[in-house]
Structure 1
Amino acid sequence: MTSSTDAPGDFEALLSYLKEARGFDFTGYKRTSLSRRVRRRMSQVTLEGYGDYIDLLQVDAEEFNALFNTILINVTGFFRDPEAWEYLRTDVVPTMLAERSPEDPVRIWSAGCASGEEAYSLAMLFAEALGVERFRQRVKIYATDVDEEALAQARQATYPTAAVEHLPPDLVEKYFDRAANQHVFRKDVRRSVIFGRNDLVQDAPISRIDLLVCRNTLMYFNAETQARILSRLHFALAPRGLLFLGKAEMLLSHARIFDPVDLKRRVFRKTATTPAGLGQFPAQGLTYERHGEIGSLDQLREYAFSASPVAQVVITAEDTVALVNQQAEIVFGLSSRDVGRLLRDLEVSYRPVELRGYVEQAKVERRAIRIEDVEWQRVSGEVAWLEIHVNPLVEADGGLIGVSIVFHDVTAARALLDELAHANRQLESAYEELQSTNEELETTNEELQSTVEELETTNEELQSTNEELETMNEELQSTNEELQATNDTLRDRSLELDEVNDFLESVLTSVGSGLAVVDREMRVLAWNRGAEDLWGLRGDEAIDQHLLNLDIGLPVTELQPAVRQALADASFETVVKVDAVNRRGRLVTLAVRCSSLRNPSGSVQGCILLMDIVGEAGAPG
């Protein structure tokens, strides 16, 4: 819930400050969960307003790390979700290697690698399949994340004993060295894992990837940002490359660019079709009937190409520069001396954009590639915007003879689009002002929206009744005092609800045992701090989840009969002892008290589970 002292744009101002000050762009994250995590950190430093929190960030550089650790929840582990990793080991990896010759390199990208367990799991998987020596020769694993602190931990490759307890002993013996109470990943295998910072929303993707692992990362972003990230992941993959997602993520809206290999394990393959919006450009020229001989035709073609107002470079099928026109020489500082050199030896191959991946894609897929919104700084210091077309030059029999790279200057068009967008925003602002002719009514409406969180779900209804509100404006003006009185009453009720919620939160926090409350459908209604400490699952992750779907060490199937009986019998209460694995990976024995949750009338509304550790598993109880 937003503080009453915050203006509507204060939260967005905070996101803008984080982007400008530290380069973290959280604008694509889901607003509800993002706001909740920021609020949690603000409560820890006893601040209520976003403006006050921005002031704290400006004077305390260490506060950034605490905030980012709260937002970027790095929950990971070796071979997390073992069933999916087993499918990767038995089906995906053998098929990948069989499709390639014994000398072909294998490129893997672990996106959102956190503290590195996922990347090292991939290293062990492929080292087991190929042998350590062949793995070092063929495999490169690129592990990226936006959290520099997590990357620093990943580069050290040092983990506590609890982190490797669930691994098979032979893997621990083979790939980890013991140092005091820590386990250090094997150095010669570690050299094939390259860690680096990469923001999936802003930074360019790594190209020609055979297996891209991006698990439980997309779920933090909104639908629009997910679509943008998936397009980048699609580009990053080599033809027939594989995408491995987390079990909570789906690609229902992107079936056109990914084919499912195994939906249950969330494995998808890059489609061979061209994504919508990228047109096909024929490489062959049109032929015309000649009505007479044309002298010096080769010279005419040469001058026409050289005098073209659009910068253009033509390379051979072997990536050797064959032609450079005058405009390309002016824009990129090329000259006739560059003809005959390899494209990779020229600055234009990687600036203003990495061209080699697009050139290779155009050659392999035999289709034109369009690269939009490329920023370029001219010699004068002015910023220009380019749209680059990479067109394969194909003979009539399908043979590739070269690639044409054309740089279109779209700076003026982009400026017009920006002006149009600005004009549209002005029109929208004017329209909103016309809709809100009564300043007091607008203020009242904003206060109501900020005090009652459920009103967010009725936003569409408010928009659909906007015309009716306009016709009732005169009546609303005459009843303004009555609305003000109603607003005061609602504010008092909101304060009472806040007090009740604070009291209930204090009760749940004060209970030392792990406490979980489920409804009649066995969905979690409450999850206290004791349960968080016991299972390592936060309340916002557990609430609204089905009890049987929680990915924790509690054997919920053994509790299911007692829970169902408690839901059926209002007087039922029992204690069940079960063996479980706590969040530290330790086997413990739990005493779980299961009783019915009854309303004042005595009917069953759900079930209460009170969990206490009574000993280590296997020890006398």
Structure 2
Amino acid sequence: MSNKKNTRSINATELSIKKAEYVVGIGCSAGSLSALIQFVKGIASTTQAAFILVQHLSPDFKSIMDEILEKHCPINVKLANDFQIIEGGCLYVLEQRTYLSIAGGRIVLSETEVNQYRHPIDYFFKSLSEEFQNRAYGVILSGTGNDGTKGLQSLQQVGALTLCQSPQEAEFDGMPNSAIENNDVDHIADAKDLSRIICEHVNSRLNTDVKISQRKSDFSLAEKIFDLIREDSNIDFSEYKIGTAERRIQHRMGVLEINNIQEYYEYVLREKVEVSMLAKDMLISVTQFFRDPEVWEVLLEQIVKPMIVKKPEHEDIRIWVPGCASGEEAYTLSMLFMYAFEELGEHREVRIFGSDIQRSEYRNLTGVTYEQDIEEVVPAKYLERYFINAGGHYELSKRVLANVVFTSHNVAVDPPFSNLDLISCRNLLIYFQPSAQKRILSYFHFGLKSNGYLLLGSAETLGALTDYYYPVDSKNRIYQKNNDTRITLLEAGLKQLQTHKHTKVVEQTNKVKTFLKAGDFSLSAQSVIGRVKDVVLSTYAPPTIITDKHHNIIYSIGDTQLFSKKIVPGATSLNISALLHNDIASAVSVLIKRVEDTHLPVRVENLVMLPENIKLSIEGNFIESPVTKNVENFTVSFIVERALTSAESEEERDFRRHNQMTGQISKLDAALVDAREILAERQKDIENLAEELQVSNEELMASNEELQSSNEELQSVNEELFTVNSEYQEKIRELEAANFDFDTLLMCTDLGVVYLDANLLIRKFTAKAKDFVKLLPLDINRPFTDISLTFDFEGLNEAINLAKTSKKSVDRLVERADQESIKVAINPYTSAQDQIDGVILIFQFIPKLPYLRT
């Protein structure tokens, strides 16, 4: 039976309990009852694993899941109590709505507000991963929403086995589909098969003999496996910590149900895809926004703000985040600097480089979205500034994204980034052996500027390189480069560093050689021909400018300095109109436009340039693509006709400038007046419309938020009520079956039974009772005192009252002459609160014994 007593004190019995070595976490919600029944039926009665069930429960009802499951479960079913030892071979079930976590091999329950109850399965799985590492199992069954998805990721990161019910079988496939889409779930199967897989896996783990850290033969095989990975993906895992490597190999062996590392090595040789699967499993990807919030507050006040103030305006701030995974830490730094800019009223260009060893996908500058559960980890002051609530999810601001650049980089062997103001390398070094840690830290020292900062994880230290950094905040692992003294190879741990093949360099060299051999001419011949072309063009061709289809200059032939302006300091445009002499710029713009419209050569003559005092013509043409026949380039050639005399120059100046410029100015003035009037009208319309749209948008956003919140609350309530309804439906089926069995028993027995309620009204009677009491179907709910018997029995009502008041059974024997005697048993029955709920009368014929002569 279920143990519903909450015992907190440690007693002698607890000391004798053997804590579970393997723990299976089960997460489910709506529609999971049938799946749970099938799941527990498949649990082996001899299993040494413990199973803990976490559901979405209603705050208004107590769960009876333990009573339902214990009828089908071959192992003990217990209610989960606070501070309870997790014992192998037991299934623990929550009775009420609470958060469940694990600490020290015990269950820890914590209360939560109704409106704040979110993702209890994620919360439990994360705790399970931290406590049991790769000795944990995560199972997702039927349910709506995505609770459990993040938790499975935490379990995967520590090498735990993850399993999921097949969405086709699940009554509600929301949770299974979310888990499958966002995680590489190890097993997807029907509920009845999941428990069998787990029990077999636990049994296999108990019999698995992998001791890489203790047995030379196993270590040798692990090295061979790492060599295969290095050849396949150019990643060297031989410098990873042995414990980490051992757990990851054990995880893959468990998934494949292989007990011996020699068999696993042979499997890797046969199945090449397993090499990449193990490599992916080894690359632990753990990151989140503002992990360890205190660290970021200290970094903001002690490092970021002073760095901004001291940094000259023309210099960029350069930051490197090695092992960035999906980029949340890099984005956190971007938000940190933007927040500091706003508070200080300053601005600097920030370049944040996020690198990872195998980063095949890069975040775009748009569409980086996160679920609403980031509200729990992102401080409100950052959430409201740098995230956009897009209804059901959050979208990261483009301003934050613009500061971050991602790239592939192996921090253990590739050259580091240079001239860095800050390196944030948190919880990456813990996976490397001390020699590799020392080498990576020396790389960081080389990449940092003088007085640059280094941020490490809470479990990481500088080790042997402590003298090269100044501790700014030892508690939060913030250090500063204290000098530019070069770290020797021996100190950096590079003495025994293996030389890797520079395959990329060789490939590039071969490409260059192939290109040179593929040409029609030798390199020297090509050089001569190029020089001849330049001489011919500069000698015989007029000065010419070539533009692209956007009118930007891309090449010039001959001396075009006479026709162009000097480039002035500041932002520079390559548009031809911006770079030409003022006297010809407008004519060239018109010319190119006409060439573009007509697809014909155009010539403009008798242009004058002052004060150069020359008359010239300009020819414009176009160059088509040989494939698409579209215009790709324009050419503008300048032909000087002759020099002007001083009289002609003066006359030309007066005539052309007066006529052309005056007319042009008049047109422009008139157009400007019209444009201003139109613009003013449009501006008013736009302002009115913008105000209306702003009001409407705010109303719609408020309505949307309210609807979204209401929808989430209704969905949560619906899940909880569905779970409660499923439990009670199952209980009703059990009660109906029990009631049917009881009625059948009464029909088959030779007893007359009459049920009376607390007021002695008739509730029910059996068919045999009619032989003793004159009853009809219409007598239900009539007082028993109104009914007569078929035999004489004085004092029956008094006996009934006596049994009711004394709460004790009363038996009477009615003897009848020459007839069978009748035994009357009067039995009161009470409720759970010891209150009288009614009386049961049982009538039975007692045959007379034959008279014996002596």
Provide TM-score, normalisation by structure 1: 0.42
**Which has more radius of gyration?**
2
Q: TM-score, normalised by structure 2?
A: 0.31
